[in-house]
Amino acid sequence: MKIFISPDSFKGSMSSIRAAEAIKRGINRAMPDADTYLSPMADGGEGTLTAMVTATKGKILKAMVRDPLGRNILAEYGITGDGKTAIIELANASGIERLKTHELDPLKASTFGTGQLIADALEKGYRDFLICLGGSATNDGGTGLLKALGFRFLNADGEDLPEGGYFLKDLAAIDNRNVLPSVFQSTFQVACDVRNPLVGNNGAAAVFGPQKGAAPEQVLQLDYSLNVLADCIKKLQGIRIHDLPGSGAAGGTAAGLVGLLRAELKSGLQLILEKLNLRELFEKESFDLMITGEGKLDGQTASGKVVAGLASFAQAFGIPVIAIAGKVEGNLDSLYVKGLSAAFSITDGPITLEEAMEHGEILLENTAEQIGRILKIRGRC
């Protein structure tokens, strides 16, 4: 039997790579002769960098950049195995996990460090970029990132604005004369699965600002600042990004990338599937089964999550899909319609969330083994 193993990470417990390897070990315990193909998966958020580099046999590069508050840190980005695409994960340099709770400051936090990673890749000759949004500590509309590439954001006196979304309230002009020439020779695709606009009641500040430490009055300040940014981009580029679906991702970073870099916003999972050339692989190889999984499966999983996306993908090839999750609850009919064949929880009895996360790897391996034993029975029927 030829089995394609492609789980997402089990957040807080194990990476997609470790999850894939655990599933493989369990299957091979029951079916030593099974032919397994591992392709760790992600949906375009945190973990995409590692999953993509592993799946394509690429490489990790490091660079000294700034964290969201301007302190020097060593951050990473990836290069796909074909040597063509630089994978920039915003959370790596500008993520909320870079800060302690008391340090959260969405008014001043900046994406500058993420721009430094892009600049490093540009200097090394890369011109195709996959920007993975999610997990940001920022609400600066991507202006920090853009500053690192040479854009200037000026007040009415022609002075450069300080870092952070709050100061965009004083934005009067955007100067692109010093932008690195290589920027305009490059293509930028943005993995983005949220549909929130840049501004308004469902915008970047209103929806995501509180998670980053913004008080109610600060949410209003940030929303006003992002409106000013959007107005300036409209004036310079002729592009209206105020209410563009997805432009509110990562504190409005998606808006800045679309407005000033002409970036393309795409579904995170679909973009990853394209970059991994999975369609070509499945057209060439004859897989009998796909096994995927993630931390939790429920009725919401059908909305853009890895399991739902892979089930739909496999359905087009007539391949059954089994999902393994830390927890399975609710009605999964929407997933079955998309192509999911069956779902299994790794918990084998009463267990706390902490215990499940601590022992997740062995529980996943054991569940995969039992699936393998069921498949052996099926093979005899």
Task: Tell me, yes or no, whether 244 and 95 share the same domain.
Answer: yes
Number of residues assigned to the chain: 381
pTM above 0.95, yes or no: no
d(CA 160, CA 175): 10
pLDDT for the residue numbered 349: 62
DSSP characters over 221-282: HHHHHHHHHHHHHHHHH----TT-TTTTHHHHHHHHHHHHH--EEE-HHHHHHHHTTHHHHH
- 163: CB partners within 8 A, 6+ apart: 70, 108, 109, 110, 112, 140, 144, 147
Give the per-residue pLDDT at 348. 67
Query: Is residue 310 within 8 Å of residue 292, measured between CB atoms?
Result: yes
Same structural domain, 100 and 216: yes
From 252, 269, 286, the end of a domain falls on 269
pLDDT value for 150: 98
- Nearby residues of 59 by Cβ (< 8 Å), 6 or more positions away: 53, 78, 79
CATH of the domain at 12: 3.40.50.10350
Q: Are residues 6 and 61 in the same domain?
A: no
On whether the CB atoms of residues 309 and 276 are closer than 8 A, the answer is no
Task: Examine the domain organization and report whether 264 and 282 are in the same domain.
Answer: no
Same domain, 123 and 143: yes
| CA dist 74 → 81, 132, 187 (Å) | 22, 18, 25
**Paired tokens of 261:** 């870099």
Domain check: are 94 and 130 in the same one?
Answer: yes
Quote the pLDDT of residue 275: 85
CB contact burial 14-33 (16+ within 10 A = b; e otherwise): bbbbbbbbbbbbbbbebbee
Choosing from 269, 302, 321, the residue where a domain stops is 269
Query: What is the DSSP code string of 268-323?
Result: HHHHHHHHTTHHHHHHHS--SEEEEEEEEESGGGGTT-HHHHHHHHHHTTT--EEE
Residues 221 and 131 in one domain: yes
CB 212 within 8 A of CB 104: yes
Contacts (Cβ under 8 Å, ≥6 apart) of 110: 66, 68, 69, 70, 94, 138, 140, 143, 144, 163, 164
Pair 301, 261 in one domain? no
What's 258's domain CATH number?
A: 3.90.1510.10
Q: How far apart are CA 149 and CA 52, in angstroms?
A: 25
Mean pLDDT, consecutive 10-residue stretches, the chain (381 aa), reads 93 87 96 94 84 91 98 97 96 95 96 98 98 94 98 98 97 96 96 90 95 96 98 95 95 97 91 88 95 86 78 96 92 91 84 70 95 82 40
Domain that holds residue 219: 48-269
Does 248 share its domain with 149?
A: yes
Give CA–CA dist 320/228, Å, rounded.
50
Give the residue from 269, 303, 324 where a domain finishes.
269
* One domain for residues 153 and 235: yes
pLDDT at residue number 302 = 59
What confidence score (pLDDT) does residue 381 get? Answer: 40
- 23/139 same-domain check: no
Residues 117, 189 within the same domain: yes
Query: Total domain count for the chain?
Result: 2
